[in-house]
DNA sequence: GTTCAAAAATGAACGCGTTCAATAAAGGCG
DNA sequence: CGCCTTTATTGAACGCGTTCATTTTTGAAC
């Protein structure tokens, strides 16, 4: 309990009122407001999750390195899983927005789809370890505030896919009885499992991953009825 | 280790002539060989997982009710998750075999696919709680003997789907550039996520579940190019 | 500056899954 | 049977995620 005071604890200065005596960490723990703590917890957690893995990182380690109490971590994340989503949600929302903005109602269906999935793949490729963890923990996880946010983003994606399909139908690029929403869902199914497979097999190559996804999506668009894409 | 003999110990007595003065559970433990223990552990675990849920069931409870030591459970299942797969694999192999046997090279593609997926859906519907647990724990789980067996079964299914597609291609029901294996994989993607969705939404109705799966698969077979299924 | 109620932070304590050194049982041999 | 080797079984011990009664900090009112 004493030997871990080698941490950066040097913040207990009362600071008095002399101007020069405290160039580093000035007042005590006061300046560390909630945002500061959240920031520190997130940063430490991300670093440890990536470097040591999710299971081998303990919340005690995170708390110590973030210079907060053990219980404090649970104020910001209901569970360890939720802590993972807290990190994963950073950037993912932005990716989703970017993807949504890139949709062009006049563009070809496959281009719009890859315009949406491309940024997602790139995002996951940027932090493959974390992504694998997220996709591993994602399935069926529905408790915890951050997990909720994660699922909201996912549902928005499905709806976006439906919208893209609707555009293609309105332009008469495609014509199907099924509701655009349902087609969007089916596309999402393919995306989900393909993404998981891609992240699972060792080398995460963005180009080949997206290429395989394109092949699968083209299969759905063209159907199995005719070969070569050109209707022979 | 004596006071928990309030269990249902009424197992077979070893031998009649040995009715010595040791009525307190001593001789009973001898006849319990490995198979017996495995059987008891499985049965108890299944019952508790279904009745109380996976997370609320403790291995200590399982060990006590199965009348084995705590550590003994870990001889038969490397982890708690593996214990779940130990149970799930019972019957699933059989379902997979049944499904494989039902394939008719001359039958329509969609019929063969539903002939394979139907028994699977029925199996999952038979024990919905357990199925949800399995699908929750399944993603990315690759350590543990039972999980390995589970994934083998899964890969066999994907290959079976490829074979079904190949049959359809050989009969000229379909014609596509893509390798049958890849088409089978894409079908598997749809099946996976659809199955998960079906098990997630409260009421698990077999017929409506399979109907929705059929719609999604027909989408893939027909493609998005033409409406109504009948080519105009 | 003092007071005080509300909010935030904390770490001891709890029950869990998992490990493993110790123990018991089984089996082979003379 | 006794003796020894091998195998199976066990539960105390460990470190973990999580809880929550307690303590500390905060900021408004005086």
Assigned domain for A6 exists:
no
What does pLDDT average to over chain A?
Answer: 83
My answer on whether A191 and A213 are in the same domain is: yes
Predicted local confidence at residue B138, as pLDDT: 73
Residues 6+ apart with CB under 8 A from B5: B24, B25
My answer on whether B88 and B161 are in the same domain is: yes
Assigned domain for A17 exists:
no
Query: What is the arithmetic mean of pLDDT over B100-122?
Result: 97
What angle is formed at CA A153 by the lines to CA A151 and CA A156, rounded to 5 degrees?
110
Taking the C-alpha atoms of residue A89 and residue A45, their distance in angstroms, rounded to an integer, is: 13
Whether B139 and chain A come into contact, CB under 8 Å, resolves to yes
Predicted local confidence at residue B139, as pLDDT: 67
Return the residue matching tokens 């899983």. Answer: A81
Q: With the C-alpha atoms ordered A168, A169, A174, A179, is the resulting torsion angle positive or negative? A: positive
My answer on whether B97 and B62 are in the same domain is: no
Domain region containing B61? 28-76
Q: What is the 3-state secondary structure (H, E, C) of chain B?
A: CCCCCCCCCCCCCCCCCCCCCCCCCCCHHHHCCHHHHHHHHHHHHHHHHHHHCCCCCCHHHHHHHCCCCHHHHHHHCCCHHHHHHHHHHHHHHHHHHHHHHCCCCCCCHHHHHHHHHHHHHHHHHHCHHHHHHHHHHHCCCCCCHHHHHHHHHHHHHHHHHHHHHHHHHHCCCCCCCCCHHHHHHHHHHHHHHHHHHHHHCCCCCHHHHHHHHHHHHHHHHHCCCCCCCCCC
My answer on whether B141 and B57 are in the same domain is: no
Predicted local confidence at residue A144, as pLDDT: 75
pLDDT surpassing 90 at residue A20: no
Whether A174 and chain B come into contact, CB under 8 Å, resolves to yes
* Structure tokens, A22: 């405290």
Predicted local confidence at residue B226, as pLDDT: 54
Predicted local confidence at residue A41, as pLDDT: 97
Domain stop point among A76, A94, A117: A76
The CATH number that applies at residue A134 is: 1.10.357.10
pLDDT surpassing 60 at residue B230: no
Predicted local confidence at residue A32, as pLDDT: 54
Q: With the C-alpha atoms ordered A200, A206, A212, A213, is the resulting torsion angle positive or negative? A: positive
What does pLDDT average to over chain B?
Answer: 83
Q: If you measure CA to CA, which chain A residue comes closest to B213?
A: A186
Assigned domain for A118 exists:
yes
Whether A1 and chain B come into contact, CB under 8 Å, resolves to no
B35 — pLDDT class (breaks 50, 70, 90) = confident
My answer on whether A143 and A180 are in the same domain is: yes
My answer on whether B132 and B203 are in the same domain is: yes
A58 — pLDDT class (breaks 50, 70, 90) = very high
Predicted local confidence at residue B141, as pLDDT: 66
Q: Which position has the higher pLDDT, A51 or B4?
A: A51
Q: Which bases in strand D are touched by protein, i.e. have an atom under 7 Å from a CB?
A: 8-13, 15-21, 25-26
Whether B176 and chain A come into contact, CB under 8 Å, resolves to yes
My answer on whether A63 and A172 are in the same domain is: no
My answer on whether A94 and A71 are in the same domain is: no
Q: If you measure CA to CA, which chain B residue comes closest to A195?
A: B189
> Nearest CB to A175: which of B185, B196, B225?
B225
pLDDT surpassing 90 at residue B148: no
List % helix, strand, coil for chain A (3-state, nearest 5). 65, 0, 35
Assigned domain for B10 exists:
no
Number of domains in chain B: 2
Q: What is the DSSP letter of A102?
A: T
Long-range contacts of B184-188 (CB under 8 A, 24+ apart): B184/B158, B184/B159, B184/B160, B185/A216, B185/B158, B185/B161, B186/A190, B186/A216, B186/A219, B186/A220, B186/B220, B187/B113, B187/B161, B187/B217, B187/B220, B188/A193, B188/B157, B188/B158, B188/B161
SS3 of residue A89 by DSSP: helix
Assigned domain for B3 exists:
no
Domain stop point among B76, B96, B113: B76
My answer on whether B56 and B142 are in the same domain is: no
Assigned domain for B95 exists:
yes
Query: What is the arithmetic mean of pLDDT over B11-35?
Result: 41
pLDDT surpassing 60 at residue A120: yes
Query: What is the arithmetic mean of pLDDT over A9-31?
Result: 35
Taking the C-alpha atoms of residue B52 and residue B129, their distance in angstroms, rounded to an integer, is: 10
Assigned domain for A126 exists:
yes
B36 — pLDDT class (breaks 50, 70, 90) = confident
Among A131, A126, A38, A37, smallest CA distance to A84 is for A131
* Structure tokens, A106: 């006049």
Domain stop point among B76, B93, B114: B76
pLDDT surpassing 50 at residue A119: yes
CB pairs under 8 A between A and B: 119
Helix axes A145-170, A109-126, angle to 10 degrees: 160
Predicted local confidence at residue A226, as pLDDT: 54
My answer on whether B37 and B126 are in the same domain is: no
pLDDT surpassing 70 at residue B203: yes
Return the residue matching tokens 């699922």. Answer: A151
Query: What is the arithmetic mean of pLDDT over A168-178?
Result: 94
Query: What is the arithmetic mean of pLDDT over A211-221?
Result: 98
The CATH number that applies at residue A68 is: 1.10.10.60
- Ranking A81-90, A202-211, B218-227 by mean pLDDT, the lowest is B218-227
Q: If you measure CA to CA, which chain A residue comes closest to B131?
A: A140
My answer on whether B129 and B197 are in the same domain is: yes
Q: With the C-alpha atoms ordered B188, B42, B79, A74, is the resulting torsion angle positive or negative? A: positive
Are A156 and A96 in contact by the 8 Å Cβ rule? The answer is yes
Are B138 and B150 in contact by the 8 Å Cβ rule? The answer is yes
Taking the C-alpha atoms of residue A215 and residue B182, their distance in angstroms, rounded to an integer, is: 9
Q: Which position has the higher pLDDT, B144 or A91?
A: A91
Predicted local confidence at residue A139, as pLDDT: 67
Predicted local confidence at residue A17, as pLDDT: 31
My answer on whether A144 and A196 are in the same domain is: yes
The C1' atom of C1 and the CA atom of A27 lie apart, in whole Å, by 21
A145 — pLDDT class (breaks 50, 70, 90) = confident
Query: What is the arithmetic mean of pLDDT over A169-198?
Result: 96
Among A164, A40, A29, A56, smallest CA distance to A110 is for A164
């Amino acid at each position: 309990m004493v030997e871990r005071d080698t941490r950066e604890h040097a913040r207990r200065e009362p600071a008095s009122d002399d101007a020069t005596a405290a160039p580093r960490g000035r007042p005590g723990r006061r300046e560390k407001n909630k945002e500061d703590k959240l920031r520190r917890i997130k940063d430490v957690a991300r670093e440890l999750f990536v470097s040591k893995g999710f299971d081998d990182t303990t919340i005690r380690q995170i708390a110590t390195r973030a210079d907060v109490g053990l219980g404090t971590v649970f104020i910001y994340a209901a569970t360890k899983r939720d802590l993972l989503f807290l990190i994963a949600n950073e950037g993912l929302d932005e990716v989703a927005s970017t993807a949504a903005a890139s949709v062009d109602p006049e563009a070809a269906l496959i281009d719009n789809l890859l315009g949406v999935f491309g940024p997602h793949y790139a995002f996951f490729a940027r932090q493959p370890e974390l992504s694998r963890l997220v996709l591993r923990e994602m399935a069926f996880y529905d408790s915890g505030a951050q997990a909720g946010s994660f699922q909201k983003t996912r549902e928005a994606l499905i709806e976006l896919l439906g919208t893209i399909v609707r555009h293609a139908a309105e332009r008469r690029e495609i014509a199907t009885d099924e509701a655009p929403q349902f087609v969007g869902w089916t596309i999402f199914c393919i995306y989900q499992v393909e993404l998981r497979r891609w992240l699972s097999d060792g080398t995460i190559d963005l180009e080949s991953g997206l290429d395989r996804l394109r092949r699968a999506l083209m299969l759905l668009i063209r159907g199995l009825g005719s070969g070569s894409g050109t209707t022979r």
